Structure 1
Amino acid sequence: MKTLLSMLLFIFIWLSLMPDAAAAGNTHLIPCHDSAAFLERMEKAPQTYYFDQPYQSYSENLLCGADGLPHLQLRLDRAVDVAIPFGIFFYFAGFVGWSGRSYLIGSKRRSKPAEAEIFIDIPLAIRSFTQGLLWPLLAFKEVTTGELTAKQIDLTVSPR
């Protein structure tokens, strides 16, 4: 319960410190076709397809800084472009980890746990994979009930 409250407090503080949308506006980037430094770089570049095409695209679509280099502006309306791949990766990584954890916990309950780690027990593996599909819900349940973390009394401390 303390962990959940501390996470909520952290999220609340983090959200309260986010800047206003008005403060996140562009203050130093200009369109590349208006940047003298970018145009100078474009003229000094070799006249080949591999230089001409990117420079033309950059001048039409991107913003440049004082150095004449194109920059990508961080905007909240484009956050979905990062959030969706991150969400997919996070879910898949959690699925793999939770499935492996579930398999190892299940194999320890067998009469020969080391053998279950060497020779894959197919029914146990299928059960572990199906549990892995619901890993966010199972993880939340185990965090709230205290099953996921070890008790303080079970932790060993080395003498100093």
Structure 2
Amino acid sequence: MRNLFAALMVLFLWIGILPAAPAIADTHLIPCQESAAFKERMQNAPQNYYFDQPYKSYSSNLLCGADGLPHLQLRFDRAIDVIIPFGIFFYVTGFIGWSGRSYLIGSKRSSKPEELEIFVDIPLAIRSFTQGLLWPLLAFKELTTGELTAKKEELSVSPR
């Protein structure tokens, strides 16, 4: 466990300390205002607000490829734009999954588990949602204690 933690720390420090290197695609991209293919696309586009405004913005702010289309660069300094939404998505989906799992485990302990799957037990659901808010900590605890994964002897094997 210590080796995994040390490796993760080295990786995070390495990513954080390294200067943002230019993307490989930078060599193939030029500013849109200098691209002949982009200028041709801009001249052939209909003359109205919905085409003029984006083209003006693209020409001054983005890089274009040989096809004359604007391209976005993938760089380490812009990684936060992907990490934050992914983190939120991952936390919310984990919350939903953990809450449902917690509710089903709690319902199995009752005298009529099938009935609790049809008719929601509100106190149990609230308790499950509360546990779901802390799902990363609970998942780590169950993973380290062995509760989260099944033992090899408990797995069924196909007779084929």
Q: Indicate the TM-score class for this superposition, using the shorter chain for normalisation.
A: 0.7 to 0.9
Separation in 1 of the partners of 2:116 and 2:40? 66
Deviation (angstroms), 1:23: 5.9
* Counterparts of residues 39-58 of structure 1 (less than 5 Å): 39-58=39-58
Q: CA deviation at 1:52?
A: 1.1
TM-score normalised over the length of structure 2: 0.85
C-alpha separation in 1, matches of 2:61 and 2:150: 53
Q: Percent identity?
A: 78
- Structure 1 residue 135: Cα displacement: 0.1
Match of 2:129 in 1: 129
Are the structure 2 counterparts of residues 22 and 80 from structure 1 closer, same or farther at C-alpha, using a change threshold of 3 Å? closer
Partner of 2:23: 24
Give the corresponding residue for 2:110.
110
- Report the secondary structure of 1:159's partner residue: coil
What amino acid is the match of 1:144? Answer: T
Q: What residue is the counterpart of 2:153 in the other structure?
A: 153
Moved over 2 A (4+): 20-25
Give the Cα separation in 2 of the matches to 1:22 and 1:84. 21
TM-score (ref. length: structure 1)? 0.85
The offset of 1:21, in angstroms, is: 4.5
Q: Distance in 1 between matches of 2:51 and 2:93?
A: 39
Deviates more, 1:72-81 or 1:94-103: 72-81
CA RMSD of aligned residues (A): 2.3
- Inter-partner Cα distance in structure 2 for 1:99 and 1:21: 39
Gaps of 5+ in 2: none
Count of aligned pairs: 151
Give the deviation of 1:159 after TM superposition: 1.0
Amino acid in structure 2 at the alignment position of 1:72: L
For residues 51-101 of structure 1, the C-alpha deviation after alignment (integer angstroms, 9 at most, x for no partner) is: 111111110111001111100011111111111111111101100100000
SS in 2 for 1:130: helix
The one-letter code of the counterpart of 1:148 is L
